[in-house]
Amino acid sequence: MAEIVYMSSTAGTGFFFTTRKNKRAAAEKLEIKRYDPKARKHVMFVETKSPKKKKEK
């Protein structure tokens, strides 16, 4: 069963993307090297919890 996960940049730019992960096949956290447009270079992305949503008043 695939689940949507958030991949955050380790460069500290706040850039993230979403991807799908098979929980049965991959129990550990994902680590992927991809391009970060804010940092303008390839950096490591790690699986994180979903970003916090802003509260609306």
pLDDT tens digits for range 12-48: 999 999 999 998 888 889 999 999 999 999 999 999 9
Q: How many CB atoms lie within 10 A of CB 45?
A: 23
The pLDDT value recorded for residue 1 is 75
Closest CA to 36 of 6, 18, 11: 11
The pLDDT value recorded for residue 56 is 72
Closest CA to 48 of 3, 9, 11, 2: 9
2-48 sits in which CATH class?
A: mainly beta
Please report where in the chains the tokens 């929980």 appear, as a residue: 23
Instruction: Provide the whole-model pTM.
Output: 0.79
Q: How far apart are CA 42 and CA 15, in angstroms?
A: 12
The pLDDT value recorded for residue 27 is 82
Residue 52 confidence (pLDDT) above 80: no
